Chain A
Amino acid sequence: MAHYEIPNSGLKRDDEGKKMGMWLFLFTEVLLFGGLFLVYAMYRFQYFDEFKIVAEHMDITLGAINTVILIASSLTVAMSITAMKKGLDNVAVLLIIITIFLALSFMVNKYFEWSNHIHHGLFPGFEAFNNLEKGEGMFLFLYYFMTGLHGLHVVVGAVLLAIVIKRIMLGRITSENIVFQENAGLYWHLVDLIWIYLFPLFYLLH
């Protein structure tokens, strides 16, 4: 691999360094969400019954559909990297376009889900929300904060993937120089990883 041949090789790239930098960044993301998971665990203990009451009203079907969408998008990203390594540039671009489409579908689902809650006044500041028990409000607050932060990551991931398409078109990502696409893929898989835990915590434990 190129990164072992950097001295005197004429190559000005350090793929291994770029990959490790990406992983270190991903660990800071784990710390960010890890702290929120700890807050969730704490309040789940403290307001056990209240959490159960609100969780029963979550739409498992919508949550499950979004889970399938994100897992499918992880597949298309992984396959786009496989395709690029095989030199199938057009297939890779097509797979990334499908991924971005899946990301948009995820956000559309989230929009319908949130607007349904907000329509019932279940958002911080509304009267119905203020009349809830403290623990019930805490569940919804954590739900908005954690799925909202996750949704922000979905948007950022989609933008990164759009940049990958542009770079493939410009020939700046090739089967021999693929580290940017792999790093964007790592970010996308992290988004999927976080949802893998959010789904049971907010939808299934009811």
Chain B
Amino acid sequence: MSKHEHTPSFKSDLITFGLLMLLTAITIWASYATGGTTVLAVLVAMGIATVKATLVVRNFMHIKYDDIIYKLFIGAVIIIFGVFITLLAVDYFYR
């Protein structure tokens, strides 16, 4: 049974780090370019944060090597949070 085995490498760790740093620079630049609190600014900031979070979970937390069950769990957590924030928005705007 070797389906969990993978060759760990410093190189892939460093590439992930480089991408995270690049995205951090982009999100700081974008916050000025988009004017801080416009709808666009919020979408861009949260979008970039989510790309960074995906990189951390996939490459640093090794989800890409893990069983499908972990991916399903994470998917469920994202859906639950999505439902909560949608309900919050509906409640706020239509109360």
* A residues at B contact (CB < 8 Å): 1, 4, 20, 23, 27, 30, 34, 37-38, 41-42, 45-46, 48, 51-52, 55, 60, 64, 67-68, 71-72, 74-75, 77-79, 81-83, 85-86, 182, 185-186, 189, 192-193, 196-197, 199-201, 204-206
Task: State in angstroms the CA–CA spacing of A200 and B5 once bound together.
Answer: 36
Report B's interface with A, CB cutoff 8 A: 1-2, 4-5, 8-10, 13-14, 16-17, 20-21, 24, 27-28, 31, 36-37, 41-42, 45-46, 48-49, 52-53, 56-57, 59-62, 69-70, 73, 77, 81, 84-85, 88-89, 92
CA distance A86 to B59 in the complex (A): 18
Min C-beta distance of B77 to chain A, whole Å: 6
> Is the beta-carbon distance between A200 and B56 smaller than 8 angstroms?
no
The verdict on A205 contacting B92 (CB below 8 Å), with A38-B85, A68-B24 known, is: no
* Residue from A20, A27, A186, A204 within 8 A of B28 (CB atoms): A204
Given A1-B1, A206-B37, also A79-B77 (CB < 8 A): no
Cβ-neighbour of B27 out of A20, A45, A86, A200 (below 8 A): A200
- Do B88 and A41 touch across chains, with their CB atoms under 8 A apart? yes
Do B31 and A200 touch across chains, with their CB atoms under 8 A apart?
Answer: yes
Query: Given known contacts A79-B13, A82-B10, A200-B45, what 5 new A-B pairs fall within 8 Å (CB)?
Result: A64-B24, A78-B13, A196-B53, A196-B56, A206-B37
The 8 Å CB contact of A74, one of B56, B77, B89, is B56
The answer to whether A23 and B73 touch across the interface, beta carbons within 8 angstroms, is yes
Centre residue among A77, A78, A193 by max chain B CB count within 10 A = A78
